[in-house]
Amino acid sequence: MSERVVLALGGNAILQPEQKGTYEEQKENIEKACNRIVELVKAGYQVIVTHGNGPQVGQILLQNELTQPEIPSMPLWVCTAESQGMIGSIMQEALKNEINRHQLDKNVSAVLSLTEVDANDPAFESPTKPVGAFYSKEEADKLAEEKGWVMMEDAGRGYRRAVASPKPKRILGLESVKTLLDNNTVVISAGGGGIPVVRDEQNNLQGISAVIDKDLSALELSKEVEADVLMILTDVSNVFINYGKENQQKLETISLAEAEKYYDDGHFSAGSMGPKMKAAIDFAKNGKKAIICSLEEAKEALTGKTGTTISGTI
């Protein structure tokens, strides 16, 4: 059977920081990404795509704020669902068109995904993830009083709402994803880390205001669909240690033990490469292969020609 690869695509690959976020811009970015993804499909890999949604959810939240009170605002988990549907539909269309162009015998399906988190996760006690619009100190204080929001200053640009970022427990509905994979389908799943839900005392699911780290959800997705490779796609070709210093060093193929040492030594920042390396290390512990590389070099990275590969094999 062909290798099963989970591709974790960052939200900024869909919407660049300097862009306004028009449909046309995002469609063009997604089409470029799908051209690379189909290279892997053409090479015979089973492909599951997951993606970030930070910029998109931020825009949806801002739309909520700007249209009040005329249009009722939606809770954060519904905004995540909106972004999943938007990105998933554009990506599904682009993948189908590219697959047809190459005359490949493949289906494509985007699956709306719920991700269960623990209602007692410590992250809910100290929200740290800024989302949505920027506010002045006075506006932030008013929102905290009226809506009970936790507000935090963000990079000196103003105050934003802070929400929890709990760890994913499981991605729901993955039996359907496995069935699709076994039936010749490229699957898009767990976009934006998934729509966060918790279970109540009656074991019923309900949405909760949180943002789930995309890389940690990609890790859970990879484990649960029994992927052979977890590939985290970034805007750089390799991971570096001593980044930005004179003794900066590019990492190519490294052992699990080496990766853990570099991580424990603090080479990777929490707001950038840290979560990616943590997910890659945890996946490699299963005796499998994790790769961090650029989108443009994904095919070459799978054959070890570029990228940073963490090998969990003995």
Residue 276, pLDDT score = 92
Q: Is 129 an annotated catalytic residue?
A: yes
- Among 12, 35, 142, 274, which one carries the catalytic annotation? 12
**Residues 56, 23: Cα–Cα separation, whole Å:** 11
pLDDT, tens digit (0-9, with 9 covering 90-100), for 77-95: 999 999 999 999 999 999 9
Catalytic member of 64, 214, 223, 278: 214
Q: Is 214 a catalytic residue?
A: yes
Count of residues making up the chain: 314
pTM of the model: 0.90
- Residue 137 annotated among the catalytic residues of the structure: no
Cis peptide before 130 (omega within 30 of 0): no
**Is 35 a residue of the active site?**
no
What is residue 61's predicted lDDT score, i.e. its pLDDT? 86
Residues 6 or more apart whose CB falls under 8 angstroms from that of 236 comprise 294
What is the pLDDT confidence band of residue 58, given thresholds at 50, 70 and 90? confident
Q: Which helix (H) or strand (E) holds 185?
A: strand 185-188
Confidence (pLDDT) at 1? 57
Using the predicted structure, report yes or no on whether residue 17 has a pLDDT greater than 90.
no
User: Which token pair is 220?
Assistant: 């859970």
Domains, in order of start, for the chain: 4-114+167-311 (3.40.1160.10), 127-163 (no CATH)
- Is pLDDT of 12 > 80? no
Catalytic residue among 11, 132, 193, 312: 11
The sheet that has 289-294: what strands, in order across it? 107-110, 185-188, 46-51, 4-9, 229-234, 289-294, 308-311, 253-255
Q: Would you place residue 313 in the very low, low, confident or very high pLDDT band (cuts 50, 70, 90)?
A: low
Are the C-beta atoms of residues 84 and 192 closer than 8 Å to each other? Answer: yes
User: H-type helices in the chain, by residue range?
Assistant: 23-42, 54-66, 76-101, 137-147, 174-182, 214-224, 256-264, 273-284, 298-302
pLDDT at 314 over 60: no
Per-residue pLDDT at 147: 84
Q: Which of 276, 278, 288, 289 is catalytic?
A: 276
Q: Which two tokens stand for residue 278?
A: 């943590």
